[in-house]
Structure 1
Amino acid sequence: MLRPGTFLQDRYEILEQIGSGGMSDVYKALCHKLNRPVAIKVLKEEFSSDSGFVSKFKMEAQAAARLSHPNIVNIYDVVDEGNLHYIVMELIEGITLKNYINKKGCLDVKEAIGVAISVAQGIEAAHEQGIIHRDIKPQNIIIARDGKVKVADFGIARAASSQTLSATAVGSVHYISPEQARGGYSDVRSDVYSLGITMYEMVAGRVPFQGDNTVTVALAHLEDPITPPSYYNENIPVGLENIILKCTEKKPEYRYGSMHEVISDLRKALVNPDGDFVQYNSQVDDSQTVIIGKPELEQIRSGRKIQADPIAGRNGNRNQEQRPERRPDKNAGGQQGSSKARKQDTEDDINPKIERLLTAAGVVVAILIVIVLVIVFSKVGGLFRSGSPKETEPTAEISTEETLSDKKVKMTSVVGLATDIAEQKLKDNGGLYMKVSDYVFDDTVDKGDIVSQDPAEGTVIDKYSAVYVVVSKGPEHATIDLTKLDLEKMDGVAAKTALEGNGLTVNVEQKNSETVASGYVISYSPDKAKEGETVTLVLSSGPALANPTTVPNIVGQTQEIAVEMLADAGLVQGTVTEAASETVPRGSVISQSLTENSQVEAGTAVDFVLSSGTAQQSKYKYLASIEKSYPLQNIIGPGSGSTQLTLKIQLRQSVNGRDEIRELMGPVTMAGDQSLPVSFKNIEGVYGISGGTVEIVNVETGDIINSYYVTFIPVPQS
């Protein structure tokens, strides 16, 4: 292990260890020559003396160093320094895709497709250079801080060649392809499989195969059918799911043939998420099974004709080459020999394939004759049997079944079955295999069960054919049992919040009740509802009132106006509190204790909350002061001592083009020969308004007797 401060080649200063793998440790370092941060992968000490490990380690560098692509981590240098073997690479500041998935649970569909396209582009660049990564997994994919996606760690990558026929099964077991698991041939389609598993984890939040040990997981890749990712995340569109399922086919020939094809379909999925654009490779070979014997095999290999009796043919040719041509003998023996020779030549000229076809045709004709005779005799036998027509139906059905060839099967029904049970049932019924064509919401079929099938039940189809099914995603909106919410124990506000939290629309009605406290739930309907439906709440307005009045809506009004509105309705001001608000202007009502339009007894007190302004406004207040005295005789003249006036003092400020008036001193009655003191040390004005007018008002006439302009300054709240 290298310590911080260690220099390699008098150039790279080790800063810290940032990772560790099975074969190597990774450090963050500073290249003093180019003054840039780098990542250095150092082969572990226990492997540095093993030539095999060292060779494999160098092979990683040689493979990756040939690649230059925005989605592949760059290799800067490869160094052997004594017992140290290390690679200097581009340092990517970011997070691995594995950690990103663990952090988010599962990725958004568009985000997952974007990451998959970037990864596929990097792998495609490697494939074009003849390099198979062989270890594609989220741990080897890095998302940089600027959002770029890069493929790293070609630790088990190797150049694809025709000699790679029995490669060792390597790669992380949860993402390994079936051919890698069994130690078979690996090509670009192995990377396609691993990318498919990675995409599966991105959108489902988990890998498809899990187990207690690596052997169990590896066997699952070889044998177990893959559960569609939409089983774990119903928001996955059909287009993306079909791409993932095609990438993760067990047999390589059924997968995408190249990363270019994967990228093309991923781009289609971005534009048309639910489109049916994925083209599946044919998985059924309907050609007749033919047993190839040794002569035919020799013929295929050599490309020459083989006689019916190869030994005789070879002997004849050899004798003909060694002896001169003889004239035919005229005696009987000669004629007999000549006849036999001609017969042998004729037999040699018969094509063995034609002979087999004629034999097979004869067998087929014989079978058809037998079937016709069985049907005829069964019908004739029915003429002599008594009973209703219903008794003859089983015989007809048996005859129909007998006419099915070895290559045909009658379609069974899988509607209503779970997908795994349906898949096994189809497999048992003539080797049929299941393909999911769509996922739909269904109120009657449970999630994960089959809604419909194509072909329909009873249809005669080829064995080993594909059966397309539509799978239920369950009800689009789950039914909510409202009886479990205990709404009767809630007041109107709590009940409405609970219902709206479940995606329901609430309609509130009022009703008098002698038993249920005012504002609490009397009843509701219906008892069960789905998201988006309306629920009616009946709230108690208390006992019937002797002198009822309607509560006005005072929200948004100033305190003065709110008090006037309550008085007009026969109500009185209750407790007034203040609270900060980002939306309600300072001095206006935020909320009230009694619901608007509700019926209450006249004289009831209504509490309300006034806005103290925004949080910023709560830190400061705008204050002004005035010290004046106004002689009333100025307006009354002589004889003012015998005259009385009722006056008040108010503050007027212009706010957003509208006058706001606040009373500073209530109405007082004074003699005309007195002076009215206009003295206020701390007049609080509207936040942010720097000026205003203090006015003396004649209450009886409403006339403004005199006014004084005052300036407001911001002062921190104590």
Structure 2
Amino acid sequence: MHEITFSTVDKPKLLSQLTSLLAEIGLNIQEAHAFSTADGFSLDVFVVDGWREETEELKSVLERGILKYKEQYLSKRHVVSSVNEHYQVKIEPLSNCIAIPSDGTDVWEIDTTQLKTENKVGSGSFGDLYRGTYCSQEVAIKVLKPERVNAEMLREFSQEVYIMRKIRHKNVVQFIGACTRPPNLCIVTEFMSRGSVYDFLHKQRGVFKLPSLLKVGIDVSKGMNYLHQNNIIHRDLKTANLLMDENEVVKVADFGVARVQAQSGVMTAETGTYRWMAPEVIEHKPYDQKADVFSFGISLWELLTGELPYSYLTPLQAAVGVVQKGLRPTIPKNTHPRLAELLERCWQQDPTNRPDFSEILDILQHIKRK
């Protein structure tokens, strides 16, 4: 596995050009994350496999490919590539504590002597999730892998802490505290004993009948409406980030890529997961809270069918289909008419035609009453 990062002046079709370059080399893209800044720069990060030679040789092949693409597509724009072997990322020097904005009204630094880690319940690219206790309360502990820590990851970590400590809602996973002193970086939240909706659907082969589906949709809509009212865009809303507690209350989780919305009302830093991602996000266009509504619509379809969105396509093929061909999941014929109508409105190509979460909540509650 390798992680490849491209930085360049942003331009239309950049993502598709870079993915074509990787495909020509024979690499299989496992993850892709795209970021762009308000002043016109782009950072595209790919996790790939399929390269059997030395890493330095891959870097040389990429550089030759970039030169060819610069001549064909990128004109005089400057492109730089860097390749790191996965799990062997250089650890950058860190200060004694990460700077996280504080208004002085709350204390959230974890007393590690009161934190007890038990069994691992999940693992990701940048961290592991453990079950544990804090001051005798059952908690979930998200621990960052020291070997994966870099400057970008620290920014993401501090952003997640900053956002989570500001929010409190019954349909948002409750933040308890964090350890911000390297190398023991972790975020502690309430423990959600029933796991994610994604695991329930795809690993346990669970089924949501209409009443249960509506309850989940209402729970998520309440949580998302609260976040949007507080100018927070989640940016990675999907069933893997919807967690269930012992009472089957569903809560929105994982704010690693969430952002406080800019005063201008639009965002230009892109991230998320392709199968659930709004077309304007895939295309590097400015976006707002309606990007979360698109992702919610895809997640609601997943609840309805129990299927992975575009399961017959790779994530990148799905992204291209969504943007260029208006591809959307097929709604089953026996779907409740109001629910089918809501799905189609949520994933409209034009974000202004999508409902907001207060309207979605009204529609789902109306269907439930009927």
Structure 1 length-normalised TM: 0.35
Alignment match, 1:123: 224
User: 2:128 aligned to 25, 36, 40, which one?
Assistant: 25
| TM superposition shift of 1:208 | 4.3
| TM superposition shift of 1:248 | 0.8
After superposition, the C-alpha distances for 1:276-315 in whole angstroms (9 at most, x for unaligned) are xxxxxxxxxxxxxxxxxxxxxxxxxxxxxxxxxxxxxxxx
User: 1:217 aligned to 301, 311, 318, which one?
Assistant: 318
Alignment match, 1:237: 336
User: 1:9 aligned to 97, 112, 123, which one?
Assistant: 112
User: 2:278 aligned to 142, 153, 177, which one?
Assistant: 177
One-letter amino acid of the counterpart of residue 18, structure 1 = V
Alpha-carbon RMSD: 2.2
Match of 2:301, SS state, is: helix
Q: Partners in 2 of 1:105 and 1:42 — Cα distance?
A: 29
| TM superposition shift of 1:230 | 3.6
After superposition, the C-alpha distances for 1:475-525 in whole angstroms (9 at most, x for unaligned) are xxxxxxxxxxxxxxxxxxxxxxxxxxxxxxxxxxxxxxxxxxxxxxxxxxx
After superposition, the C-alpha distances for 1:511-563 in whole angstroms (9 at most, x for unaligned) are xxxxxxxxxxxxxxxxxxxxxxxxxxxxxxxxxxxxxxxxxxxxxxxxxxxxx
**8 Å Cα contact 1:229/1:236 also seen in 2:** no
Q: Partners in 1 of 2:199 and 2:182 — Cα distance?
A: 35
| TM superposition shift of 1:164 | 7.2
Q: Partners in 2 of 1:24 and 1:242 — Cα distance?
A: 39
**Aligned pairs for 1:118-267 within 5 A:** 118-162=219-263, 165=266, 167-210=268-311, 212-226=313-327, 229-231=330-332, 234-256=333-355, 258-267=356-365
**8 Å Cα contact 1:26/1:42 also seen in 2:** yes
Q: Partners in 1 of 2:266 and 2:171 — Cα distance?
A: 29
Q: Partners in 1 of 2:214 and 2:325 — Cα distance?
A: 26
Alignment match, 1:577: none
**Match status 1:101 vs 2:204:** no
| TM superposition shift of 1:224 | 3.0
Q: Partners in 1 of 2:181 and 2:328 — Cα distance?
A: 49
**Match status 1:92 vs 2:206:** no
**8 Å Cα contact 1:101/1:202 also seen in 2:** yes
After superposition, the C-alpha distances for 1:157-182 in whole angstroms (9 at most, x for unaligned) are 00011467562331111101111111
Match of 1:95, SS state, is: coil
**Aligned pairs for 1:270-349 within 5 A:** 270-272=368-370
After superposition, the C-alpha distances for 1:433-487 in whole angstroms (9 at most, x for unaligned) are xxxxxxxxxxxxxxxxxxxxxxxxxxxxxxxxxxxxxxxxxxxxxxxxxxxxxxx
Match of 1:17, SS state, is: strand
Question: How many residue pairs end up in the alignment?
Answer: 261
**Aligned pairs for 1:580-595 within 5 A:** none
Q: Partners in 2 of 1:94 and 1:206 — Cα distance?
A: 20
After superposition, the C-alpha distances for 1:398-456 in whole angstroms (9 at most, x for unaligned) are xxxxxxxxxxxxxxxxxxxxxxxxxxxxxxxxxxxxxxxxxxxxxxxxxxxxxxxxxxx
**Aligned pairs for 1:692-703 within 5 A:** none
Alignment match, 1:607: none
| TM superposition shift of 1:213 | 3.0
Match of 1:245, SS state, is: helix
Q: Partners in 1 of 2:127 and 2:148 — Cα distance?
A: 9
Q: Partners in 2 of 1:226 and 1:215 — Cα distance?
A: 13
**8 Å Cα contact 2:301/2:331 also seen in 1:** no
Alignment match, 1:52: 152
Match of 1:136, SS state, is: coil
Higher relative contact order (CA 8 A, sep 6+): 2
Q: Partners in 2 of 1:95 and 1:14 — Cα distance?
A: 18
- Structure 2 residues without counterparts, runs of 5 or longer: 1-86, 88-109
Moved more, 22-31 or 56-65: 22-31
**8 Å Cα contact 1:137/1:195 also seen in 2:** yes
One-letter amino acid of the counterpart of residue 238, structure 1 = P
**Match status 1:80 vs 2:172:** no
**Aligned pairs for 1:484-499 within 5 A:** none
Q: Partners in 2 of 1:243 and 1:183 — Cα distance?
A: 26
Structure whose residues are more often strand by fraction: 1
**Match status 1:269 vs 2:269:** no
**Aligned pairs for 1:532-547 within 5 A:** none
Q: Partners in 1 of 2:309 and 2:191 — Cα distance?
A: 32
**Aligned pairs for 1:646-661 within 5 A:** none
Q: Partners in 1 of 2:141 and 2:224 — Cα distance?
A: 22
Match of 2:341, SS state, is: helix
One-letter amino acid of the counterpart of residue 271, structure 1 = R
| TM superposition shift of 1:106 | 4.2
**Bigger radius of gyration:** 1
**8 Å Cα contact 1:27/1:41 also seen in 2:** yes
| CA distance 1:184–1:91, shift in 2 (3 Å) | same
- Structure 1 residues without counterparts, runs of 5 or longer: 2-6, 273-718
Match of 2:179, SS state, is: strand
One-letter amino acid of the counterpart of residue 247, structure 1 = C
Match of 1:174, SS state, is: helix
**Aligned pairs for 1:471-550 within 5 A:** none
After superposition, the C-alpha distances for 1:84-141 in whole angstroms (9 at most, x for unaligned) are 2111111111131112222346421221111001001011111111101111111111
Q: Partners in 2 of 1:211 and 1:183 — Cα distance?
A: 25
One-letter amino acid of the counterpart of residue 349, structure 2 = K
**8 Å Cα contact 1:72/1:151 also seen in 2:** yes
| CA distance 1:228–1:139, shift in 2 (3 Å) | closer
Q: Partners in 1 of 2:328 and 2:260 — Cα distance?
A: 33
Q: Partners in 1 of 2:154 and 2:270 — Cα distance?
A: 19
| CA distance 1:95–1:39, shift in 2 (3 Å) | closer
One-letter amino acid of the counterpart of residue 185, structure 2 = H
Q: Partners in 1 of 2:124 and 2:329 — Cα distance?
A: 31
Structure 2 length-normalised TM: 0.66
Q: Partners in 2 of 1:138 and 1:93 — Cα distance?
A: 16
